[in-house]
Every structure is written in structure tokens, then in C-alpha cells.
Structure 1
């Protein structure tokens, strides 16, 4: 089988195609023919040597993927040949709160990821993909959508009528818009440009504000009748957290789910005290959360948004597109 790996050094220019033997499943393993993989900013951070945990070669990168079960071990009970499945990003985190010991094994770094034609792992490392989604759509779920679900409904508790502010247009942002709207919340999207306004409305945003407009905070308080945002999903980190705090209501919950604008977060402590703001940091989600997410996606027929597709052979073009940013939805690699 073909795989893509950092063999001797982790750097994007050293990600090469390699040949490996076809895997044979152990007693509790499944073999999945990967059909699609989705990229995340952590993939860039790992390639750049700027990830928050140590990652060493050799490594098959990329955490998010979906495929079809093509072989099972003799004691496998959760899946059958032909099932469509998604890999679980943190496979040892099955349920409950996250703990250090269940966060050590992470697909795509430091553990091998999904950028391979055939993936063999324990049946516990996968969940059933939503029945209504394509492989490309299902591949986008393990980090972005599960993080949005874990933040909004496990770490937090979005309620009907809440004002939910979502910053950005990447995978977590789009998922947060769709999920918060499905819970009956009013979603306010804050973006850098106006070009995606109509699509954001279609996805569930009630209002779209431009972050480059210095009056956007006043506009937000106007559309929420002076309440402000009860829940904020911040995907960029850095100084954007301070900016988001100015839009918060009293006792607002601010979910910190990314670091595209910087890994050092700064904000005015007096502003946080005035609002009694609560900050929660996301760490993706458990397998149980993933399974609950799948139920909602199927019930509401929610579809993730794909911004661009590339062949897995053109993975560097996909990574370059992700680095440029500004896309609406996820960047996906497909296995031919």
C-alpha cells in the first residue's frame, strides 16, 4: 500500500510517498481503506516544528479521515466489512472528562495518522460515519466538528435563545454555526470580509458582522438588544481574544479553540472581571461526544462545508491552501 510519511525529518518538504506492506488485522482490529482526509492547522504546526508536544519521525501525518472497512479481526463486534467509518483523533479518550493519560495518543502526531491507503487499528479507534455524508464530508468531522460539539454542549451548554458569537470561517467556525443554530441559538458571525455573507446566512447565522469595522461591537449589542454574546467561539487566539471579550454579555462563556492568530492570549482583566467571563479551552472531544454528534448530524441532516479538494498526491498544495487561510469550510484530500 501507499502511505505518506515524514521519514527522516519533520518538515513539509520531507513529506514523501512510501510503500508499506498491506496490514493484517489482529483479533480486535479493523482495516480501513481510507477515502478522504481533512487538514487542520495542527498539521501545519507539526510540519513547522511549532506544535505543543514533541513529535518525532518516522510519522504518517494528518489526524482526520474517513473510509470503508475492508477487513476485520475475528473478535471484532462494532463493525463489519463495508461499514463507513471515521477515525477518532484521541482514540484513548472514550468518554468523560479529558485526562492526561487519554490525551497522549493523538492521530497524526505523535501517533501515526490517516495519510495512508490502508489504516489498521483497534475497532475502538473508529466511529460510524453519518449515513447521509460523503467520505469527503465525513473526513472533516474528527477535530473540527467534534471540537465544536464538545465546546458548545459538553464543556458548555448552549440553550435556545442564547446569543452565540462565532469568529472566522474555518471548519470549527462553520460547525459551531450549524450546531448552535440547531440548538435554537441566535448565531452572530464575525468575519474579515463580506464575500461569504450569503453562505453564512444559509448555514445558520442570523447576523454577519465585519471584524475590520471598528463599530462591530456596537452592532452586536444592537442586534442582541444590549445583551451581548452569551457564548463566544474564538478560533484564532492571540489578540483576537481581547477583541471578542468586548462583545461578551455578563457571565459569558468564551471557548478558546485555536491559535491561528497567535498562541499567546492577551486580554484586559478588568473587562473580564466586569463581565464575570468564563474561559474554556477545547481539546477536541471524546469518542462518546463524536457518537452523539453523529446522531444530531443525521437527525438534522447537517452537512459540513468543504472549501477545497485536492488529491492526496497533491498534499503540499492542500497544505499551502490551508496556510493562506480565508477559506470557507475545510480543505480535504481525496484518495484516488
Structure 2
């Protein structure tokens, strides 16, 4: 089988090589991969910025979908032909996270999904909604589940306001999931064209922050001085101070991203004064994944993505690096 691997760090190091096709042992499932989606974590992993001590060579990418090709001894839940996704954390099945549960992350601790065949534990996969294609399903394991848990972090009511940052995979999923709750959604982006696309998905009001960097003031204006009930924070330490100024007193910041470096000191007194809850979000368990899939199926929700052939993986990673994409970037595996 062919796999894409990094023998050394850097996008230019990504290479297609041949490896023996694995055979499933007891409790294992062999999956024929049909599509893989990219996350910012995958880009950082390839570049060596996520874990400089990563054992190489490594097959990158945590998110993929395909069909069961073969099952090992004792596997009862799956059969050849079943359409499945891998779970981001192979060991976090349910309950609260623990250090042991968050080990075994695909595309990091262990080889990922950018290959023609992948061997996973039988409880390390889930079925996905029937109305989704393989490409759509490949967007779910990390970005969708992260957004799902971010929206669940606050007790949103119909009169609540949610702020999303940018139009990448997590933010667009957060927009779609928030829309299912009937709340008002504000969004910021560096591209007016992207904001217009987001409006077609349900964004109520958008701001091009290239025109004004003080988007926190804009949020307060849009909420009559109250602030957003929930901020889906994907920027990181560089945007957190403005998120704190934009969030409502007693509101929630779902902290996800690490995209930006510090621009100013984090205003700790504001956290205390506004009594803000900052909730770290790191994907989720298999149980959360299954709950999300039920909601996606019930709403007939369709992920937003752009697709490329997996032989164009280098170009796709560069596209992610330039942040020119909208929604998710997906690689078709032939």
C-alpha cells in the first residue's frame, strides 16, 4: 500500500512511499481509506512545531473515513463494507479525560490516516451518518467534534449570542451547530468574501477585521454593551485579550486554538471582574463523537469542504498554511 509520511520535518519532506498492507489481529479492523481531512494540528505536526520530539517517520493526519476491508479475530461490531471514521483519541472512549485516555492520538502519538489502508482498534472507529459522503465524513473526527463540544460548553438559550473567529473548519462547524440551537451568531474574518459565504450558512452579522482591529468593540456594539454569551476562541493567546473584552459577564470562552502569538498581556483582572469561564476544548471522546453524529443525522447537516487529490498533499498543507481555504480541506485517497 502507499502511505504519505514525513521522514523529517517540513512540508517539502512529505513523501509517498510503499509499505506492506497490514493485516488485522485480534480486536483490530483494517480500513480502506477513502478521504482524509487536514487540521491545523496536522500542519504543525508536519512542520515540527507541535512536537519537535515526534518519532519519525510518521504518517500524519488524525481525520479520515473509509470502509472496513477486513476484521480480526473476535471483532463482532464491524464487518467488511461498513463505512467508518477513526476516532481522534484511540483510548478516550467515554467519561472525563485522563492522561492515559488522551494518549494514542492519531497522526501524533501513533501513525495517522494519510494512507491507503489503516489498522485501528475495533473501538477506535465509529460509523457516520448515512447521508454523508466519505469526504464529508472525513471532516468530523477533530474539527466537527471540537466545535460540537465548544457549543456545548455554554448553556445557550434562543436569545444567546455566539462569536466565531475566522472561517476555518472549527469555526464553520461551530456556526452550523450554533445555528441548530437558534442563537444569534457573529463572526469576524479578514475576508469580506468569506463572511458573505458564512452568511449563506446562517451568520447573522460579520466584520472584516482588516478594516478595524477592534473587533471586541464591534461585538459589544452588536450586543448592546452586553457581550457574547460564548466566544469560540481559535486564535490563541494573541486574540484571547480581545475575546475577554468581547465576552459577556458570566459568559464562556471555549479555548481551542493556538494560531497566534501574544500581542498583549492577558488581562487577568478582567477574568475575575467579568467572572468568565474559560473552557479548554481538546476534541472529545468516542461517546461525544457518536452523540454528535446523531445530531448531524437528525438535522441532515452537511459539512463545508474543499477537496483535492491526496497526491497534492503538499499543496494542500501550503494552502492551509496560507489560510486561503474556507471550511475544511479534504484529500481524496484513490
TM over 0.5: yes
- The answer to whether the aligner puts 1:165 opposite 2:139 as a matched pair is no
Corresponding residue of 2:316: 318
- The residue aligned with 1:124 is 123
The 3 A distance-change label for structure 1 pair 210 and 274 is: farther
Alpha-carbon distance, 1:80 to partner: 1.9
CA distance in 2, matches of 1:264, 1:137: 36
Query: 1-side partners of 2:266 and 2:207: how far apart?
Result: 21
User: How far off its partner does 1:264 sit?
Assistant: 8.8
Provide the secondary structure at the position in 2 that maps to 1:114: coil
Q: Alignment partner of 1:197: what SS?
A: helix
Q: Secondary structure at the match of 2:70?
A: strand
Equivalent runs, 1:292-331 vs 2, <5 Å: 292-306=291-305, 308-331=306-329
Matches within 5 A, 1:70-149: 70-149=69-148
What is the Cα deviation at residue 322 of structure 1?
A: 0.5
Report what 1:192 is aligned to. 190
Q: 1-side partners of 2:87 and 2:77: how far apart?
A: 14
How far apart, in 2, do the equivalents of 1:113 and 1:43 lie? 10
Equivalent residue runs for 1:40-79 within 5 Å? 40-52=39-51, 54-79=53-78
1:104-139 residue CA offsets vs partner (Å, 9 max, x unmatched):
111001210001101111111101012111111110
- Output the aligned Cα RMSD: 1.8
| Alpha-carbon separation, structure 1, partners of 2:78 and 2:55 | 32
1:201-226 per-position Cα deviation (integer Å, ceiling 9, x unaligned)? 22121111222325644443333233
Counterparts of 1:326 and 1:235, CA distance in 2: 16
Q: Partners of 2:124 and 2:254 in 1: how far apart? A: 26
CA distance in 2, matches of 1:217, 1:116: 42
Residue number in structure 1 paired with 2:251: 252
CA distance in 2, matches of 1:100, 1:159: 33
The farther-off stretch of 206-215 and 294-303 is 206-215
Provide the rounded CA distance (Å) in 2 between the counterparts of 1:282 and 1:52: 19
Q: Which SS does the other structure have where 2:90 is aligned?
A: coil
Q: Secondary structure at the match of 1:101?
A: coil
- The answer on whether the counterparts of 1:235 and 1:256 sit within 8 Å (CA) in structure 2 is yes
Q: Map Cα deviations across residues 28-48 of structure 1 (whole Å, 9 max, x no partner).
A: 211111001111111121122
CA–CA separation in structure 2 for the residues paired with 1:183 and 1:142: 21
Q: 1:99 to 1:53 in 2, by over 3 A?
A: farther
Task: Show CA shifts across 1:68-126 (max 9, x none).
Answer: 11112242122221111111111100111111111111100121000110111111110
Specify every segment of 5 or more residues in structure 2 that has no aligned partner in the other structure, as ranges.
Answer: none
Residue 164 (structure 1) shift: 0.7
List aligned pairs for 1:173-184, cutoff 5 A. 173-184=171-182
Structure 2 CA distance, aligned partners of 1:216 and 1:260? 17
258-267 or 137-146, larger mean C-alpha shift: 258-267
1:2 paired residue number: 2
The DSSP-based 3-state class of the residue aligned with 1:75 is: coil
**1:291-315 C-alpha deviation (Å, 9 max, x unpaired):** 0110011111111111x32211111
**Compared with structure 1, are the counterparts of its residues 183 and 280 closer, same or farther at alpha carbon in structure 2 (3 Å cutoff)?**
same
Contact map agreement 1:168 1:191 (CA 8 A) in 2: yes
TM, length-normalised to structure 1? 0.94
**Superposed counterparts of 1:201-240, under 5 Å:** 201-212=199-210, 213-214=212-213, 216-240=215-239
Query: How many pairs are equivalent?
Result: 333
**For the Cα contact (< 8 Å) 1:69–1:84, is it kept in 2?**
yes
Q: Judge conservation of contact 1:148–1:176 (CA < 8 Å) in 2.
A: yes
8 Å contact kept, 1:54–1:110: no
Aligned 8 A contact 2:26 2:73 in 1: yes
2:51 & 2:274 partners in 1: Cα distance? 30
How far, CA to CA, are the matches of 2:114 and 2:293 in structure 1?
23
